[in-house]
């Protein structure tokens, strides 16, 4: 029998308890400052102790509504009971293997992912993070095409490893020496802030795309391999290219012998109201990468491609042998994620809740002149704040004030932490959130916008 551990009841006063808690908190932050490498932006000034459903709880038991699904990943909420049960069961039976060994959870997940996708995406490589899946996709594209040049959006975020970081333009390019050679950026088709306009003032995205590839052709050494883009740019400010854009982009790739790689780290698996965001455009990528949402908060990613591309890559010696490739523990979690998404029709739920959320945000826009634009799809929504609707002038400082006030009131909001984009709030609640929880978030945001008004 396991030893019994009991704690004697405290005989201290509430004042003593408060002093002890404060001392413990001071020690925590002192240790954090002394021992943690800072990896981007400031840490949220709360000690998070636990999480459940749509909420996280601090060490002093303050309840905070999580409108970011962790790192945009926990689509089933925190500590979903079926995910918990799967982890407990799987870790006790088969958690990790030599990378050349296969297990049933891995093959089952590959088969089921292929079954959720249109032809010819029927081959899967199971990895850990979004950066790793994009790294593998780029590596595969280079090997199959024989080229090395990669095209991405100017506000893209694809990860922090070498090839993925070289295709990332929203942040992190300065101070690290040369990026991988042959990486090119094309402008983002931002309908709210159009750079090239038609006669009616709307974004002329076709002319923008034509000019972009004129520049790509001028710079290319004739070794174009792939175009790697997000269907909805998240770190770039929740920007969704207009209908027809991806079909035209795909054609640009075809004309040049390039592969189209779509990075659905945040948009895949029901978040946008369909299983995959690319479904709206009727375009099937040559390679699809999934991550964040696939593991519902655990480190699981995938690369999906056709049998033809996989065969060519294999024949040319494709190598992506990593420590945690095809690990059974997270693969089992991925299967449970698919179970819940399918059974609970979370694609339909995301569409319905997304409409509810957009309606609430539209109401806020009527009361707060600082709301400049509402955009996104399903439960991936962007709210851009401006100091002047006519000029669309943005304010990083305003965005920071709103997010700080939201946190004080019990709502964790994510703002794009990039210069010039710090006024775009990214809203991505769990797909399991309730209308009541969304209403609570909207109420808090309403008050924060009022309190932070310039």
Identify the CA nearest to 185 among candidates 219, 161, 151, 159: 151
Q: What end-to-end distance do the CA atoms of the chain give, in Å?
A: 63
Q: What is the spatial distance between Cα 451 and Cα 417, in angstroms, rounded to a whole number?
A: 21
CB 153 within 8 A of CB 186: yes
Clarify whether 263 is annotated catalytic. Answer: yes
Identify the active-site residue in 292, 349, 377, 405.
Answer: 292
Identify the active-site residue in 230, 240, 286, 310.
230
Structure tokens, 376: 């996104």
Active site residue 266: yes
142 catalytic per annotation: no
**How far, in Å, CA of 334 to CA of 233, rounded?**
24
* CA pseudo-torsion sign 30, 34, 35, 36: positive
- The upper half-sphere exposure of residue 428, i.e. CA atoms within 13 Å in the direction of its Cβ, equals 31
- 157 catalytic residue (yes or no): yes
| 63 is a catalytic site residue | no
* Catalytic annotation present for 396: no
135, 149, 263, 327: the active-site residue? 263
Distance between CA atoms of residues 346 and 268, nearest Å: 12
User: Read out DSSP for 378-413?
Assistant: TTEEEEEEEEETTTTEE-HHHHHHHHHHHHHHTEE-
Catalytic residue among 271, 375, 426, 437: 426
Residues 6+ apart with CB under 8 A from 55: 63, 64, 65, 66, 78
Q: How far apart are CA 243 and CA 278, in angstroms?
A: 10
Angle between helices 81-91 and 328-343 (to 10 degrees): 150
Q: Which of 266, 310, 373, 377 is catalytic?
A: 266
Task: Write the Ramachandran bin of 151: left for phi over 0, alpha for psi from -120 to 50, otherwise beta.
Answer: beta
The Cα–Cα gap between 338 and 4 comes to 39
303: tokens are: 């690369």
Total Cβ atoms within 10 A of residue 372: 21
Residues labelled as active-site residues? 157, 230, 263, 266, 292, 426
């Amino acid at each position: 029998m396991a030893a019994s551990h009991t704690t004697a009841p405290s005989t201290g006063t509430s004042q003593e308890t408060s002093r002890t808690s404060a001392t413990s908190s001071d020690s925590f932050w002192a240790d954090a400052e002394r021992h943690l490498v800072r990896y981007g932006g400031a840490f949220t000034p709360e000690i998070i102790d636990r999480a459940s459903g749509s909420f996280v709880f601090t060490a002093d038991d303050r309840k905070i509504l999580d409108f970011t699904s962790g790192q945009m990943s926990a689509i089933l909420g925190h500590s979903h009971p079926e995910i918990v049960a799967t982890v407990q069961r799987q870790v006790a039976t088969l958690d990790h293997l030599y990378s050349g060994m296969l297990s049933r959870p891995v093959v089952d997940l590959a088969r089921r992912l292929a079954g959720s996708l249109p032809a010819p995406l029927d081959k899967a490589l199971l990895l850990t993070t979004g950066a790793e899946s994009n790294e593998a996709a780029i590596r595969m594209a280079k090997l199959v095409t024989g080229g090395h040049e990669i095209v991405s959006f100017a506000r893209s975020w694809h990860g922090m490893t070498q090839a993925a970081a070289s295709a990332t333009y929203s942040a992190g390019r300065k101070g690290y020496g040369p990026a991988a050679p042959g990486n090119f950026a094309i402008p983002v088709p931002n309908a709210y802030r159009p750079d090239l306009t038609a006669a009616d003032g709307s974004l002329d995205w076709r002319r923008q795309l034509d000019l972009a590839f004129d520049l790509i052709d001028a710079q290319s050494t004739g070794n174009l391999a792939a175009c790697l883009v997000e269907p909805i740019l998240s770190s770039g400010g929740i920007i969704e290219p207009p209908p027809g854009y991806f079909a035209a982009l795909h054609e640009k790739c075809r004309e040049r012998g390039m592969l189209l790689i779509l990075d659905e780290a945040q948009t895949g698996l029901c978040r946008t109201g369909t299983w995959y965001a690319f479904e709206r455009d009727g375009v099937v990528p040559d390679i699809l990468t999934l991550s964040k949402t696939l593991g519902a908060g655990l480190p699981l990613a995938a690369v999906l491609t056709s049998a033809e591309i996989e065969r060519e890559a294999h024949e040319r010696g494709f190598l992506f042998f990593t420590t945690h490739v095809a690990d059974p523990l997270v693969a089992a979690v991925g299967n449970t994620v698919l179970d819940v998404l399918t059974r609970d029709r979370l694609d339909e739920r995301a569409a319905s809740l997304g409409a509810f959320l957009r309606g609430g945000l539209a109401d806020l826009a009527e009361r707060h002149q600082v709301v400049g634009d509402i955009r996104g799809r399903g439960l991936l929504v962007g709210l851009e704040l401006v100091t002047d609707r006519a000029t669309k002038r943005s304010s990083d400082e305003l965005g920071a004030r709103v997010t700080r006030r939201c946190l004080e009131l019990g709502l964790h909001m994510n703002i794009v932490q990039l210069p010039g984009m710090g006024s775009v709030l990214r809203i991505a609640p769990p797909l399991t959130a309730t209308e009541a929880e969304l209403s609570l978030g909207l109420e808090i945001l309403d008050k924060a916008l009022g309190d932070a008004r310039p």
